[in-house]
Structure 1
Amino acid sequence: MSFNKLLERQIKKYLPEDYFLEEHLNRFIQAVHDSYEEYERDRKLFNHAFACSEKEYMEINEQLKREAKLKHASIQHLKETINKFKGSDDLNYNETDDLSDIINYLEHELQEKKKADILLQQSEKRLRLALQTIDDNVWEYHFPSRTMTFAVNEKSILDLDRNVYEGNENLVWWQTIVEEDRPIAIETFQKYMSGEISKHCVEYRVKLKDGSTRWILNRGGVISKSKNGKPVTIIGTLTDIQNYKNIQGELTATANRLSHLLINLQTGVLLEDENGKVVLTNKKFTDFFAYPGSPETLVGIECTELYESSTALFKHPLEFITNTARHLKARQPVNNEELKMADGRVLERNYIPLFIDDVYRGHLWTYNDITERKRSEIKLKRQEEKYRSIIANMNLGLIEVDLEQNIRYVNQSFCFMSGYEEHELIGQNASDLFVKEENKEMVENKNDLRQTGLSDAYEMNVNTKHSDSHWWLVSGAPLYNDKQQHIGSIGIHLDITEQKMLQRQLEEAKKIAEKSVHAKDLFLANMSHEIRTPMNAILGMSKQLQKTILNQQQQSFLEIIGTAAENLLVIINDILDFSKLEAGKVTLEEIGFNMHDLVTNTSRVLKLKAEEKGLMFEVTVHPGVANVLKGDPYRINQVLMNLLSNSIKFTKRGRVALECMLYRSKPDLQELDIIISDTGKGMDEAYLKNLFNKFSQEDESIARSYGGTGLGMSIVKQLVELMNGTIEVQSKKGEGTTVTIQLSFPKGSESDLPKKDNSHVEAHILADKKILVVEDNEMNRIVAETILNQYGATISEAVNGMDAIDALRHNHFDIVLMDIQMPVMDGLEATRHVRQELASNIPIIALTANAVKGEMEKCIQAGMNDYLSKPFEEEDLIRLIAKWLGRETHFGPVKLTEVTDTPLYDLCKLKQITRGDEKFIIKMLQVFISETTTSLTNLEQAFEQKDIKQVQFLAHRMKSSLNNLNICSAGSIAEKIEKGDWAACDFPALQKQIIALRKVIDKVIPMIMADYAELHC
């Protein structure tokens, strides 16, 4: 029976009778084949939807392989069974059982196939979902068909078109690869074909639609092979690594820079990889270990070879090898390991293991030559030991305390100072032990300062073990530990007990010295008063006597009296000038002057005296000396007058000469040599050494024969040095003397010279005024009465302050002339009584013989209105009284005409007062020059010190002198300064007035000096 028949008969048991067995069986078999082919298609679709998760893909792939294998085995078994049935003629075969087994088996296989389909669909859904969440492009290449399929998701950053490349044999994928990189892809596929590789990972650039290029990472592997082992399908991914490449480029550049830095670093560097081979080293490393060649020649060498070849360089080779091996094995950082070299050097080594993602990738060695540092440390340690020894044994006591003032360390000197042994001090509280109760608060404040990091020094009376009268100088500072934490204080102590005793002695000596200075000042004041009091009478009466008709002999006697009195006055002025210089109260002007005119005017004053003695008097000024220099012409004149006077005084015959030579000229400066020479008596060489000492004269006969105080040359030297100059004296006994002064002056211009200012003041007459003269010296009362009666004043007298108060209480007076030093009650106390008890504002003018500095201020503070020192000039007295009685009348400047100019000043008023006495006029001009210059300088100093009261007083004092010479503009300015109500906000305006006053005075003084010289001749 045929197989078909047998199969039909068996199947009919399970199928309807009219069912055609062979047709349905063939259909069933065909369905099985279709199911298998559907499975193959599903598998391909699955491969196309390759997921980013390789692990999941491999699991699903293995499961599909197992299912395919089972399906293939079942179909093969079915075919074998059917073929067996078809070829069998054995009618005894149990056909029903066999066919039933086949049908059951086929039904079972169909059920398993359905389950696999469901599993495949679920896996496919998971894979597609996974593909949609990743950025990579999944691809599959089929070698037999040479087609490439892409799974491009929406998030893909590659600009690829699946429709263009998928399955298109003409458009090969690598045609989008940049031409220079295309050989990489071709070579990779060739290796797959040859069986050399089964997976790959390569990088190359691809072109996108917009023409730009990007770097791609291509990874993949074989998923199916043919029976002969050739690859059939490759699946892989494309990853955009452009950003990585950009970063890699930056890292490469940075690495290059770092490499360059390491190569040129002054630290020896050795970089090894995980295999112990040299990756990088530098020149310093090769220098340290004397390796020949450049550092590049060491790259790739086994580092163990380097270690072994350099062991001879080390002082302890075995130790070096052992430690190096231990570090490499431990892979732990090592810092500041010292290596002693055989040649005496000391190297410092650091070991740094390198890990990337917890994977060991190599290590870095750094070497530094610390030989000099070690030598310095050794030296420092020796010095530290030395200084510790010094501190331990020095005379300065050293103590360290903690924050609670507990003693932690003391040196031997501190023990000696305090009287305690070291074991008695350690642990004790320093404050409780040494600080007295009255100093507790101060010490607490010092400890607070230490908390803020401040150091200071202070003196303190302390308790020691055996005494409570010791003084210590304590220098304290905060104490820190190695971590810069404040842990206490450190103090250095010096026993200054003896110094404190000396200090007390010095303080007592200072008090004695101050008393001595006060006694000196008092002596000068008394001397000035005692000498000036009779001098006032002598000069005053001499002036009055000159107004009478005298015969020739009487006139001669009077001149002798006047000369003697003037010489005595010069002595007094020298003493006072010297006191000012010693006190540093003399200041210098800096105004424009003409050296030619100054020297000429000075010589005119003294030329007459020289000619009277029959001496030749020569004056020479070098033509190169600038027309205008800037300095103090008045002090220069004082120096020249003093030196020329000495030369004339000590020269009996011959000549006296003054030469002004140009020593050196610079663009803005000239240095002058002023040489004064004579043929006088000269000096011994031994005396020259003491020439400039105060009160110095060669012998007692000098004072007897020539007079003087011995202060002149001392004053000259101090004035020259005050002008930053030098003075040198050469002399030989019996041959004369040469004095050379070297001074430097800035060059000036015509604008720096004082300008003339025309002004005019009309004189006033004093009359019908009642004046109270308070004076204990009868001669001075007579002088005052004689002078004042001539001007029509009514005079009353009082011999002391008490009488003056009584007279003022019972009588009316217009003004008071008050002496200062009087018995019973002095002038200052009397003035205070007048102002306070009598509440009187009557003008009081001080007439005092005390001309020392500060006397005027005392008078003003006591309530006096003005001050006049004795001996006074008649004109000064009348001018001062007239001013305070309001008897001055000022006129404005006289109008100029085209033909003549009104002079800046005139002597009409002065001649009227002196009745034409030229000698008196000369004296008045000399006094005006001296006092006005000094007063103006003092006024400017008072303004700088903001002493406005003193400024007004000095302006008041100058005003009368200016008006007597008809210097109207200056007198008007002085009056504004005196009577102005100057507040702080008005100081700029006051300063302008003072500057204006200075300009007028600077203009008029040279003119007055010229007239003075002319009159004197």
Structure 2
Amino acid sequence: MGFNKLLERQIKKYLPEDYYLQENLARFIQAVHDSYEDYERDRKLFNHAFACSENEYIQINEKLKKEAELKHASIQQLKQTINKFKGNENIKYNDTDDLSDIISYLEHELQEKKKADDLLQQSEKRLRLALSTIDDNVWEYHFPTQTMNFAVNEKSILELNKTVFEGKENLVWWQTILEEDQHIAIDTFRQYMSGEITKHCVEYRVKLKDGKTKWILNRGGVISKSKTGKPITIIGTLTDIQNYKNIQGELTATANRLSHLLINLQTGVLLEDENGKVVLTNKKFTDFFAYPGSPETLVGIECTELYESASSLFTQPTEFLIKTARHLKEKKPVNNEELNMADGRVLERNYIPLFIDDVYRGHLWTYNDITERKHSEIQLKKQEEKYRSIIANMNLGLIEVDLQENIKYVNQSFCLMSGYEEHELIGKNAADMFVKDEFKRVIEEKNNSRQLGLSDAYEMNVKTKNSDANWWLVCGAPLYNDKQQHIGSIGIHLDITQQKILERQLMEAKQIAEKSVHAKDLFLANMSHEIRTPMNAILGMSKQLQKTTLNTQQKSFLEIIGTAAENLLVIINDILDFSKLEAGKVTLEEIGFNMHDLITNTSRVLKLKAEEKGLVFAVSIAPEVAKVLKGDPYRINQVLMNLLSNSIKFTKRGRVTLQCLLNNNNPNSQALEIVISDTGKGMDEGFLKNLFNKFSQEDESIARSYGGTGLGMSIVKQLVELMNGTITVNSKKGEGTKVTIRLSFAKGTESDLPKKDNSHVEAHILADKRILLVEDNEMNRVVAETILKQYGATISEAVNGVEAVDAIRNHNFDIVLMDIQMPVMDGLEATRHIRNDLHSTIPIIALTANAVKGEMEKCIQAGMNDYLSKPFEEEDLIRLIAKWLGREAHFDPAKTVKTADTPLYDLSKLKQITRGDEKFIVKMLQVFINETKAGITGLEQAFEKKDLKQVKFLAHRMKSSLSNLNISSAARIAGNIENAQWSEEGYPVLESQIRELKKVVAVVIPLIMADYSELQY
């Protein structure tokens, strides 16, 4: 704006509008304009003065004085111009108005302005001095000329001086700004130009001369605008905030560490801002209130929503909300507020309001689970009440002593315990009177713990007035006065002299019992060895004798011997199993098995026994039972065999049934219920209570009539419980018995099933191999030698460990079969000599009749390679020897690959199962024919109903029996029907498979009947 415009404003200000003539004023202004430069130049001079040195400032001031004199001359001209206005008839003014007075007034104003200019100059000097002492740098930006002026001082944060901008009015300021921050300055000036802002406050980094960067704070605002509202000039300051940024970074890091600490606290934390929104919480908080998702998902949520959603978790939801609202309103700290949860938990809550410079900025909630502490407090209170009652009603000695152990109080019971009267005790030192020298150190430690506020109980051998052999149980605690000052100790005493005597007697009895248990274990181990040793010979030689040519009578006698030996072995195993169960030495397998096959095979063995007695024997398995479960099939079989044998044994007429039901089917497990019921003699209710006791039989006639050890049911119960199952028995005399077993198994896959050993042992697999047989029992040597020679081995014998060591020292052998229990030197010691003294690596296999758990581990630790318990199966022994000789038994394809001349069925497996018993074979074949006939009929009926589940189940049942007779073609078809996924409409392929199976069966059965004329179709 020019000086003429400014003057125009002044005239309008001081002249009434009625006397103002636009035309005359225009001429006047033009005259003034001729005398003065444009006001804009004055303004630039002023700005320049603002940034100049003091000498330059004086020169400009002199120039301004000259300008003031010119202005004074202009005023004189103004007087003349106004006098001319008086002759203009169009001017309207009051007669009393004197324009000369107005001119005088204007002159006065100019004088005042001159004074003001002088004051301004002084003020500017002070301002420059002030600016030179502060860190902020003042700047001014002029939009029309796009120039930036700085008032640079000695502490310029830009490290500039006035020459930097001298003659460089178009210097772009933001060239000194860091490139990635330049958009901040550009956006700010753009917003000024668009009229979006009239002031600003931004932060960015600038480049210094040394290449470093510095954070600055830029603040400013518009001080002049154009008529259209556009900004003309803005003025502002630059402030060095680098230290602030450094501190802010440290604070941020500290805040992050604090945040991390809060998040990982075992205390539930909820931090809210002043608007009631979540700022921070942690996992413990979300766990307490069962909020889904991570703690981060709650940030920004209105906290009132959290309070309301959590209120239902408390025993008194409304009270929880009221208390919470009151705390938020009052904004006063709250500590240790207890909140009772509906699920029985107790939370302790703290409320901490946050104020910064007396301004409320939010609050912090903390939650701790004090459920255990509350329970402990309740329990402690109960115990205190209990002990107070005990002290009041029982003969417990109570004593109080000061810090020097001087007695202050005793009750009558303590006097009776100690043998002293009350007057003999008060004031005396308790430690000197009762504590023996060996317990002095203990009492010092107890006194120190009382100083720390600790209570405890301990036993102590004490001196009394009449004896020095008494024992007291002392419960001591610190004693406080009303001001909670520690003033001594209080003790409750119980005379436990008799208990200590009993304790000593019990310790002696325990030692005797341990010796007895050890003796029993040793006896069982010896009995196991001594009984199994002849059993091994009996069973081994019986099997070798079966390979010879025998007449019918000899076969019968041999079967009786084998049966008797196996029954005796069952009794031995029962005794050993029970002993191992009692000692906790039985462990369970965890392998895959097929429950359908297990139950089918178990029942097949016992079905003939039931049918021989004329009993109906029925077995059913729920088709939903998984094909592969994981557990111990051998122990399950042992349980089922025992229970089914009992049912058949004690049932004279009627039926025996086994049902396997599915109780619960989970994704990864199944709960099964196995029910075995019979119509036998049953049991009295009184005997049922003792059914599972060891050696338990209802009366002596049971043992005479049926035999048995009376250990079976006890073993069954312990095995079931070892498998985490339950067993219940319901029975009534004369009406039969029902046994229910409930077991749970994890589901498995085909890969969990144990691999079947299909290897074939060749007749000369041990040819040219020298075997050292170390065995003190002559019968066992004969058995082993007979077996081994059949496979081409050369046998040398030793009857004890010493002979074995000498033999290995002097001769070469390929493998050693070592007995464990032998005279002179046992097998374990002999093995250690062979390994340590002879440094021999010859394979050593333990052959032991000791079936007690831990025997194998002892053998391996002694240096043996493997273990086989007696009596053993011939093929197991040969396979084990072949394994360690590097002659693995191999699979013989000739045994399984069918040729065109291969018969449709093969009874070799059945003959092996029945041991060649023709009568038994006939019965088994008759069962096969009946079941197969019923199975084909059932398949057709199930297919007509399109009941695929039943079709698969029946095919599965038929597959097992077909496989046992090696009817491979039919078994393969049954397997396809069971495993295929039938989905086509009408199931034409399935129908053809059933027809094909029926066709094969129709051919095979007549062939079997032709070979065995006794069979009936």
TM-score (norm. length: structure 1) = 0.47
Structure of higher RCO (CA pairs closer than 8 Å, 6+ residues apart): 1
TM-score (norm. length: structure 2) = 0.47
If you compute each CA radius of gyration, which structure gives the higher value, 1 or 2?
Answer: 1
